[in-house]
Amino acid sequence: MVVGFEKAVSATKSVVTSVKKAPTTLSSDRVINFARGDPTMYESYWRQMGEKCTVVIPGHNLMSYFSNGGHFCWFLMPELDRAIRRLHCVVGNAVVDDDRYIVVGNGSTQLFQAVLYALSSSYDPDTEPLSVVAAAPFYSSYPEETEFLRSGLYKWAGDAYSFDKDGAYIEVVTSPNNPDGAIREAVVNRDGGKLIHDLAYYWPQYTPITGKADNDIMLFTFSKATGHAGSRIGWAIVKDIAVATKMVKFMELSSIGVSKESQLRAAKILEVISDDCQNSAPDKEENFFEYGQRLMSDRWEKLREVVKRNGVFSLPKYPQDYCNFIGKYTDPSPAFAWLKSKDGLNCDNLLRELKIVTRGGTNFGVDSNYTRISMLSPDEEFNLLLERLSAIQGTIINGNN
């Protein structure tokens, strides 16, 4: 049972009476959840890889806290460090020269907390907390993650577009953006600001790779790069060793490092991807990113067709660009669909009437006529989503057909 589902549906009855639904023979009456960004659609690809990604760890291995006692990030496995740098070089989406420092974390969520601590801890503790902002629509978890520890060092200050406070601040730039897939740059651009670039979706299956990102602090996550969310691996690429060292201190105190087993699994999978991408054999099969780009492109084409037919919703349009990795012009295929109801209806509640759970626009700092739908679900669920959206034929506003 989805928490609050019946309450949400009940509250929506008066609004959804303006929507006309076509007769349908839906294959299931169950609730389908598209509010989460759980990337399970990649499971079929990894299943066909068989034993190529298998890692065997004897019981006596990996018993120490330390992976590399002489390294500033003492819990980072050298194998993962090398695999991360190699993959970024192969894809061409981030600068990973020797003067860039990699910090591994338990997903990018923990790294985000670590960066906030690192950037704010050098400011005078007697002053008010450092403001943290992001341009709306922003990732819905940023406010909660920023406020969760109730730190006196920083606080959530909302939409970067409306931020007008003087002094130091931190701006989070997510590009491609979650939820709307837009390519983003900093908004505030004032003295005293520090930037965190969340590049979780800057991979070829989601967007054209137009160049190597070279920002001061860049966050990536294993979950969105390859689909392995359960391993809980993320990494930061940092220019300033002082910032990187403070991040490591946060990790040390919050979790005493990161699982070595997860790191070795991630390293193995990243190496397999790099090997496949660099395979020049004439009979080679499509690599992971080619597979992902094809699948995402196909899903977006189907979703756009359904949305076009029902006339109730609209989707953003993205400019085509040349992808250096693919070697041709490609269309962006974001990990989330940013759906808007054309007539001002509460989009999230409207979809809950069809037993489709999404994440409404107010969670992202915008109006309720927007909602976010994950594009990363298994085929069965995605096809059921299309079937249910197709059941909406059009709208009747104020009783008019």
Q: How confident is the model over 157-204, as pLDDT tens digits?
A: 999 999 999 989 999 999 999 999 999 999 999 999 999 999 999 999
Rounded Cα gap, residues 271 and 89, in angstroms:
12
Residue 7 binned pLDDT confidence (cut-offs 50, 70, 90) = very low
275 to each of 83, 233, 280, 348, how far by Cα in Å?
11, 20, 10, 42
The second-level CATH assignment, the architecture, of 32-47+286-391 is: Alpha-Beta Complex (3.90)
Spatial separation of the C-alpha atoms in residues 287 and 289, rounded to whole Å: 6
Residues β-bridged to residue 373: 337
Question: Would you say the C-alpha torsion 115, 117, 121, 126 has a positive or negative sign?
Answer: positive
Secondary structure of residue 126 in the 3-state scheme = coil
Strand extents, DSSP E, 160-305:
169-174, 193-198, 217-221, 234-238
Structural domain spans, the chain: 32-47+286-391, 78-277
Architecture of domain 78-277: 3-Layer(aba) Sandwich (3.40)
Q: Higher-confidence residue: 11 or 215?
A: 215
Taking all residues of the chain, what is their mean pLDDT, rounded to a whole number?
Answer: 91
Amino acid identity, position 229: A
- Tell me: the pLDDT tens digits for 329-347? 999 999 999 999 988 899 9
Beta strands 321-323 and 313-314, pairing class: unpaired
